[in-house]
Chains A and B, each alone.
Chain A
Amino acid sequence: MKNEVKIQEVNPSLDSRRSFLKLSGLTLVSAGLVLAGCSNNDNEDDMQDNSLPGIKNGVFDLGSGDFGVLTYAYALEQLEADFYTKVVNSSSFNSVFNDTEKQVLTDLYHHEVVHRDFFKAALTGALPDPSSQLLPSLAFNYGSLNFNSRNEVLATAKALEDTGVAAYNGAGRLIKSADYLLLAGKIVSVEARHASAIRSLINPNSKDFAGDDIVNTSTGLDVAKDPSKILPIAGGFITTKFTANYLP
């Protein structure tokens, strides 16, 4: 409950209803996070439900706390893996891209499939009841995206990789286990390496690999976004409905 106390300290003069609602939301999330660290505690059944992924009100919810963040990452890695699987299997993959581009895209395909399968295995091993709590394999739809277009594929790859970086950067603070935090850290830097490489393929003789559109020009910081900002972006490609009611 330390987090709740801290929030009170930071906002000593809450008077508007808007502030109150915001605070309530934060408190709810904090409570979920705290409880995720003691999910074996039988005294907290009500809150414990929110920390675990699974069907709620008929829809799969990602949950909160460490399991929620890992499940969120699993959803994003499913998307990236699916995208690059389609890219490298496209009929014109060998004709549309040059050798360097093919190498990069094939490596990204490998890395993202490994990430996806890793999260599936890790969550299956860690969730109390994976049969009901493991996020199912998602379905995807890329709309009018032309997988035979170099420019469209690279632009989408750039968006996905930058989104992945911002997502992991934003989610790190939601993780309570140092082991899980390190695992996320091991992956996010590879996503950043990807983003840099794709940006460099799109615009090689430039500073776009870490461009001013993505790295703050006065602090040198990359983007970090909460799940609620990331999921609408990723959700554009995901047709399987799920909710993230307990992530910020």
Chain B
Amino acid sequence: MNILKFIETFTDDSLMARTGSRRDSFTQFGNIGRNLALASIPFGLSAMANKALAKDITATPATPIGALQFALTLEYLENEFYAMALDSGVIPASENGGRDLKVFQQIAAHESNHVKFLIAGLGGTMSANFVAKPTFDFTVGGAFDPFHDYPTFLALAQAFEDTGVRAYKGQAANLISTPDLLTAALQIHSVEARHASEVRRLRSLKGWISNSERGAGMPAATQAVYDGEGVTMQAGFNTAMAFGASAGSEAYDEPLTTQQVVDIANLFIV
């Protein structure tokens, strides 16, 4: 495990000034806490770090805790994005029988719950494992205008949900040693996939990803979300054989590595 990398990743005031004890934190989560304890990070070392004002996030370690911290950062991003959108009024309330607003209220509620769930899973905000919310800029320095332009909001929502699906999938192997955490992550993963499907269908696309296409109306900057999705060989089986490459690739979602997701997320972190 690359301790230094980890320390650099999430060093901030909340990590430096923790007060809760590790043991208390873990009791909150029952069996999950026990599994976490088995894979715990050497917390004492983090006090040595002194990287104030960290901006870009970097890859979390390939451990169960690292996977949860990574997931929490992504959920922070989604949660803030939808909360800001609902506050901004950019989502139409009356069109399609109020469909858009109902959809995003539901998605926002889930993302908020995911944030709370993952913070609890990491032992609470006082835990040594807690990571604070980065500062997001969803305009990417003014390149996007998601809270005034609804199509831009929809495009970013699709990008975030499709990224979320691929990101959780990429963490599965890091959670295989902790079955309770793995199950919880899978239970979030499928919710992200339900979201992705609905957002895509709101945008008049298929709910699933064909080849590595980002879909009509998606900014070119989102292509990183879709690169590598066009795989048609699965464990030596050619999924394109029966109905062609589009159907074969749609039938499987591909993972993104931690670093690939970090690179996508950093576009929105200042």
Which residues of A pack against B, CB within 8 Å? Answer: 6, 9-10, 103-104, 107, 110-111, 113-115, 117-118, 121-122, 125, 165, 168-170, 172-173, 175-176, 178-179, 181-183, 185-197, 200, 204-207, 209-211, 215-224
Contact = CB atoms under 8 A, between A and B. Distances in A.
B188 interface: yes
21 contacts: A10-B31, A107-B206, A111-B208, A111-B251, A114-B251, A117-B237, A125-B236, A172-B183, A176-B176, A178-B172, A185-B172, A189-B189, A189-B190, A190-B252, A192-B189, A196-B198, A196-B207, A205-B97, A209-B198, A210-B194, A211-B106
A178 B250 CA distance: 22
Interface stretch (B17-25, B135-143, B240-248): B240-248
B194 A114 contact: no
B216 to A, nearest CB: 15
Given A110-B247, A113-B242, A173 B182 contact: yes
Contacts of A122: 235-237
Contacts of B239: 114, 118
Interface of B: 31, 34, 96-99, 102-103, 105-107, 109-114, 117, 165, 168-169, 172-173, 176, 179-180, 182-184, 186-198, 201, 206-208, 234-237, 239, 242-243, 247-248, 250-255
Contacts, number: 201
Nearest to A223: B187
A130 B120 CA distance: 45
Nearest to A212: B106
For the residues of A in contact with B, the DSSP-based class is helix
B33 to A, nearest CB: 11
Contact of A190 (B106, B179, B251): B251
Contact of A169 (B114, B186, B250): B186
Contact of A200 (B114, B198, B253): B198
Contact of B113 (A121, A182, A197, A219): A219
B207 A220 contact: no
Contact of B193 (A104, A125, A190, A223): A190
A210 B196 CA distance: 10
A186 B253 contact: yes
Contacts of B106: 207, 209-211
B194 A117 contact: no
